[in-house]
Amino acid sequence: MSAARLPKVAGIDSPIPTPAHTASPSVEQQSHPGDPNAHPPAPDPVGQLTAAQDRLASWVTDLTTLHELTGRLAGTATLEDALRELLRAGGTLVGARRGLAAVSPADRLGPPTVVGLGLGPAELGTLETVPLPAAPEAVPAEEIHTDLRHEPGLDARHREVAARLGFAASYALRLSGESAGRLGSALWFYDEPAEPVERRRHLIGLYCRYATEHLARLLELDRSRATVATLREELLPARLPRVPGVRMAVRHRPAAGGGGDWYDALPLPEGALGLSVGGVSGSGISAVAAMGRLRASLRAYAVMEGEDPVAVLSDLELLLRLTEPARSATALFAYVEPASRKIVLAGAGHCPPLIVGGRRIEYVETSLSAPLGMLSCWEAPSVDFRALSGETLLLYTDGLLHRTGDPVDRAFARLHAAAASAPRTARDDPAQLVEHVLHTLLPDDRENPHPTEDVVLLAARFD
């Protein structure tokens, strides 16, 4: 009976040859060392199969580890978080507990970013004093120093820093990819002389190639956000004007992707003041650009006919419908006479302002109206009232309510309660008042790295 064929393993043809269909040689046929007729020993099928299964198990383990680590890396949303995850995963793969990752793109457009693992700011600063190759292109793809204390030819400053920080060995990889190009490098440090084995080096090389592409995407996203932020800052007032009888303060917390909310305070003829807040639909750089155009137009209309807020918003609605037919916008414009503390305002789909004082804390009732661009012709009646001495008018955008995560009616109640809880010192200072309201209403807002809503809060206090 012939011997059975060895099975294939996981769909891979087994490299183990099928044994010959012959009987084992007799004692007389067995070869002896030095015998010219000697034959090589018969292969051991069981041993070879075991070795193949061990190699396959090792590959499966490595692929599982790589899948888990890249999955965690893909979950990072900022460049610094991704670099920290890269250092943690790399430290696990090469057996190091400290590391350093630096991003310095080849196009020199920045931003340069340095992140450490198990290293404080002082240690990172010390490492920056180690001389690097004059040309970034000269940085090797892989660099291993197995014994920094005794390795010949090592730069004296390199050896000095290693001794000061307690590094005995290091392993470095250049972060580069086919589409991303050269982004920077990652470096891990050992407390004792050591180096990663060939298998670990191969695995971390695969991981870093994937990480480089992910870092390149996050870098491009950071640059886009920086462009949007710069554009937004240029389109909004750098400072609020000084108007006798009125003290003002504003806080703007932009959305991560760039939102279209604006604020403005504009001195008008005869000592009047125009206040406006609003926002256009959409997000990103196009929404920011549309916001800039709309705000600039509103300023022009306010100078020409600011005493009639309804006319100002009607003109703005016509402009939006003709030039931005795919967008809508909410807006609130107030014409203020500081001497008499008379306020005339109109709103288009916007939240009502809040008047805060010692005798009252209440919303100013404005007529319900659609946002600009939603109707073929917009017009709503204005509201006029007088503020008392010491009262503050709070104008805000709906992002302030949305970021609370509550239903609209509850968010309005929370905003009212936040203003009511302000101490007297805060009510006397508009800057302190807006800070108190934001901190009370959105206590954890600054910990949110990717807010989806703009927040504008403008306060005008009448002396």
Per-residue pLDDT tens digits for 146-192: 999 888 888 889 889 999 999 999 999 999 877 767 888 999 999 99
Of the candidate ranges 22-26, 126-130, 337-341, the one whose mean pLDDT is the lowest: 22-26
At residue 22, the pLDDT reads 36
- Percent of the chain at pLDDT exceeding 70: 86
At residue 446, the pLDDT reads 65
Question: Are 408 and 338 within 8 A, CB to CB?
Answer: no
At residue 112, the pLDDT reads 78
Spatial strand order of the sheet with 113-117 comes to 113-117, 98-103, 181-190, 169-177, 142-145
User: What 3-state DSSP class applies to 82?
Assistant: helix
Average pLDDT over residues 255-275: 89
At residue 376, the pLDDT reads 64
Of residues 128 and 2, more confidently modeled = 128
Helix, strand, coil content of the chain in percent (nearest 5):
40, 25, 40
CATH homologous superfamily for the domain 236-462: PPM-type phosphatase domain (3.60.40.10)
Rounded Cα distance, 204 and 90, in Å = 6
What are the distances in angstroms from CA 96 to CA 85, 149, 163, 195, 442?
14, 17, 17, 10, 40
At residue 58, the pLDDT reads 76
Q: Do strands 354-356 and 181-190 pair parallel, antiparallel, or not at all (unpaired)?
A: unpaired
Rounded Cα distance, 419 and 113, in Å = 40
Question: Are 64 and 70 within 8 A, CB to CB?
Answer: no
- Specify the pTM: 0.65
Which residues are bridge partners to 461 per DSSP? 247, 392
pLDDT for residue 328 is more than 60: yes
Question: Are 458 and 444 within 8 A, CB to CB?
Answer: no
Average pLDDT over residues 376-389: 84
Q: Where does residue 316 rank: exposed (0-12), middle (13-18), buried (19+ CB within 10 A)? A: buried
Where exactly are the structural domains of the chain? 56-229, 236-462
At residue 426, the pLDDT reads 92
At residue 30, the pLDDT reads 46
- Residue 357, both tokens: 């004082």
At residue 139, the pLDDT reads 63
Average pLDDT over residues 125-132: 84
- Residue 48, both tokens: 């070879």
Question: Are 297 and 352 within 8 A, CB to CB?
Answer: no
Could you tell me which of 241, 246, 240 has the C-alpha nearest to residue 387?
A: 246
Q: Which residue has the tokens 């931005």?
A: 324
Rounded Cα distance, 187 and 90, in Å = 9
Of the candidate ranges 37-46, 162-171, 293-302, the one whose mean pLDDT is the lowest: 37-46
Q: pLDDT, tens digit, for every residue of 59-81?
A: 778 888 888 999 999 999 888 99
At residue 452, the pLDDT reads 77
Of the candidate ranges 39-43, 134-138, 401-405, the one whose mean pLDDT is the lowest: 134-138
- Residue 435, both tokens: 């800070």
Question: 4-36: b or e for each residue (b if 16 or more CB lie within 10 Å)?
Answer: eebeeeeeeebebeeeeeeeeeeeeeeeeeeee
At residue 447, the pLDDT reads 62
Topology annotation, domain 56-229: Beta-Lactamase (3.30.450)
**What contacts 392, CB < 8 A, 6 or more positions away?**
355, 356, 357, 427, 430, 433, 459, 460, 461, 462
At residue 373, the pLDDT reads 86
